[in-house]
A and B are shown apart, each in its own frame.
Chain A
Amino acid sequence: GNSVTQMEGPVTLSEEAFLTINCTYTATGYPSLFWYVQYPGEGLQLLLKATKADDKGSNKGFEATYRKETTSFHLEKGSVQVSDSAVYFCALRYNNDMRFGAGTRLTVKP
């Protein structure tokens, strides 16, 4: 079956630090991959996505590359801000099957 495994948190960083949140997946076919972000008290919002191998998704300084050989989609940002504090979810979609990782809580301190 399809599944997503995500780096466990919480992650605490100082402002301007480098961020990596690891995500690996298992899929029977070739899924699309997503990163969603959830701010306190809100629903999830799409952060970025990639639909095929070697695609790079990017938004708001965040990036992730679809690596078929390692079945990974790690999220990175070069310099985090306090406003990036949130829970980040890795997800895959294969036809109508949607799978989410458990989420990684990021706290950025000034």
Chain B
Amino acid sequence: NAGVTQTPKFRILKIGQSMTLQCAQDMNHNYMYWYRQDPGMGLKLIYYSVGAGITDKGEVPNGYNVSRSTTEDFPLRLELAAPSQTSVYFCASSSGSQLSTDTQYFGPGTRLTVL
């Protein structure tokens, strides 16, 4: 049972390049999330999904896209990388069976630098 896995661990992009951050979970969780964590700041929700084929915007969605074709995978796409997207990105999942007590399980993160 690997939990939540993310690839790559580190990446450096040039301005205007695109890339996909991969996230997978093996806990059969319905809910999946993408967050970014800027230095000295808390996590901010980018997008989330409540099940395969269903996604919705979080607090800071601009510049990102997501898809959820399977229960296990929730990739995050950056189309035109900008320096403001330099951050650490965390993927998380939860069962979603009862939102008030729902525990999120986090991946180890992807550190992205845009130069």
Chain A interface (Cβ within 8 Å of chain B)? Answer: 4, 6, 32, 41-46, 49, 51, 89, 91, 93, 95-103
Q: Which residue of B lies closest to A2 (CB)?
A: B59
Could you count the A-B residue pairs with CB atoms below 8 Å apart for me: how many are there? 59
Given A45-B106, A102-B41: A32 in contact with B101 (beta carbons within 8 A): yes
Determine whether the beta carbon of B42 is less than 8 Å from that of A4: yes
Distance in Å from the Cβ of A104 to the closest Cβ of chain B?
10
Indicate whether B74 reaches chain A with its CB closer than 8 angstroms: no
Which label, helix, strand, loop or mixed, suits the secondary structure of the A interface? strand
Min C-beta distance of A102 to chain B, whole Å: 5
* Known A43-B108, A49-B101; further 16 A-B contacts with Cβ < 8 A: A32-B100, A32-B102, A43-B92, A43-B106, A46-B103, A91-B42, A93-B100, A96-B56, A98-B33, A98-B43, A98-B58, A98-B104, A99-B59, A100-B35, A102-B40, A102-B41
| In the complex, residue of chain A having the shortest beta-carbon distance to the beta carbon of B103 | A46
With an 8 Å Cβ cutoff, the count of chain B residues facing the other chain is 26
Chain A residues with CB below 8 A from B41, complex form: 102-103
CA A73 to CA B109, docked complex, whole Å = 27
Cβ of A51: which chain B residues have Cβ within 8 Å of it? 100-101
**Closest CB in chain A relative to B42 CB, distance in Å:** 3
CA distance A12 to B56 in the complex (A): 40
Tell me, in angstroms, the Cα distance from A91 to B66 when the chains sit together.
24
Q: Which residue of A lies closest to B38 (CB)?
A: A102
Q: A32-B100, A49-B103, A51-B101 are in contact. Are A89 and B43 (CB under 8 A)?
A: yes
The answer to whether A98 and B45 have CB atoms under 8 Å apart is: yes
**By the criterion CB–CB under 8 Å, are B106 and A44 in contact?**
yes
CB-nearest residue of chain A to B58? A98
Residues of B within 8 A of A101 (CB): 42
Least distance between A36 CB and chain B CB atoms (Å): 8
Answer whether A96 and B43 are a contact pair too, CB < 8 Å, given A43-B90, A51-B100: no
